[in-house]
Structure 1
Amino acid sequence: MITDIVKGQLQEYAGLFGDSYAEIIKEKKIPVGISNRHVHLSEEDLRTLFGPGARLTKLRDLSQPGQFAAEQTVILVGPKGVIENVRVLGPTRKKTQVEISVSDCFKLGVQAPIRDSGQLEGSARITIVGPESSVTLNEGCIIAARHIHMHPEDARRFGVKDGERVNVRTFGPRGVTFYEVLVRVHENYKLEMHIDIDEANAACLKNGDFVEIIET
């Protein structure tokens, strides 16, 4: 049975994107969220970069409950280049994690691996520069693996479980199939597939477009 929370989310999608609530349920559509480069900071690195007593200041809420874009930005420095005005996302985490795209790797001159969030061992070295100081991570820079956030009720509806990998089809003139998409299930998650900006551009996707899980 679909709870009021999940039903409300599906009705919200229907209102935003022109489909009926019944169509969203029947077709099992998944909205897309496109992720640009960003940084998650530990409390220690936050204070190093922005000064003693620094706290993240919310700029706007993100789609996932409790997650937000902070007003703070940093500079990423690699062996071959620099990227300025990189947004910090909150809340803080146990370990600092930098998420970039393949295009960013070329600009910075780093070889970031494609990883699930939190899997930082052996990932790329990068320097983060803030207004007060800088932090060099010996590992911590990744290309985030594409994934789908799901509430447990969504997972039951789609017949999948946490940690499973699925194949996802996009629509339109440049429709593609994304393989090995990680399913992440938690009671605080809101249904959404996250891809980075390179993947979105290749498939001509924008925030709020819909995709679907397929069997191969």
Structure 2
Amino acid sequence: MGNETLTTRVNPDEITAIPVPVGISARHIHLSQEHVDILFGPGYELKKYKDLSQPGQYACEETLTVVGPKGVIEKVRVLGPLRKQSQVELSISDCFKLGIRAPLRDSGDLAGSASVTLVGPVGSITLKEGAIIAARHIHMHTSDAEKYGLEDGDRIYVRAKGPRGIIFGDVLVRVSDKFKLEMHVDTDEGNAVGLRNGDTVFAYKIHGHISELVK
């Protein structure tokens, strides 16, 4: 039964291939103003280090130490702008080192997520929840979504070609007029497939089976 999906062919005209550049997302931290004040001092303002590929997003000069029950990861970059709730995005490998079980989540879905301690130059704070493994996703500008017939919240397939090629399933599409077309995977996923920043993968809106992607 399981092989039928892989062997059933679909009409190529029913497959829309969308070339998408890749961004490898290393471990990082998003902070609320409340936690900035605790970690760096009251009224402290984060300093921009460099702009990121997504408009309005930037890496900060500041880094923090992330502490778990079994290990520590130093110099984890803080990203801006500020958020309402602090969030730590890690890979599975990072979680092994820290000794935590962070859930696989879409960004911002933090209820019941893992606890970690953040240590800054002035103070420290233990997040009761906030550490996640970010689910792979595609940022897509509104015009791209309209062009390809996709909507915010859609889940699609993405094919990465090459010697270690793979099909990523259940890839979340996030649509906004503030986004630039780009797929984000974490370092574990990128390394497993041999992807680098700027590589091109192909997203597919499929109206049938996925056989044409795996032949």
- TM-score, structure 2 normalization: 0.87
Report deviation, 1:72: 0.3
Aligned to 1:44: 34
| 1:111 has 2:107 as partner | no
Out of 75, 79, 84, the position equivalent to 2:69 is: 79
Aligned to 1:32: 22
Deviating 4+ runs (over 2 angstroms): none
Judge conservation of contact 2:31–2:86 (CA < 8 Å) in 1: yes
Aligned length: 191
| 1:133 has 2:123 as partner | yes
Classify the secondary structure of the residue corresponding to 1:29.
strand
CA distance in 2, matches of 1:96, 1:28: 33
Q: Which runs of 5+ in 1 are unaligned?
A: 1-25
- 1:35-184 aligned within 5 A: 35-184=25-174
Classify the secondary structure of the residue corresponding to 1:83.
strand
| 1:203 has 2:190 as partner | no
CA distance in 2, matches of 1:213, 1:92: 30
Report deviation, 1:158: 2.0
Aligned-pair identity in percent equals 61
Classify the secondary structure of the residue corresponding to 1:92.
coil
Judge conservation of contact 2:17–2:203 (CA < 8 Å) in 1: no
Could you give the per-residue CA deviations for residues 132-160 of structure 1, whole angstroms, max 9, x where no partner exists? 01010010000000000001111122221
CA distance in 2, matches of 1:203, 1:97: 26
Q: Which runs of 5+ in 2 are unaligned?
A: 1-15, 211-215
Q: Of the two, which has the highest radius of gyration?
A: 2
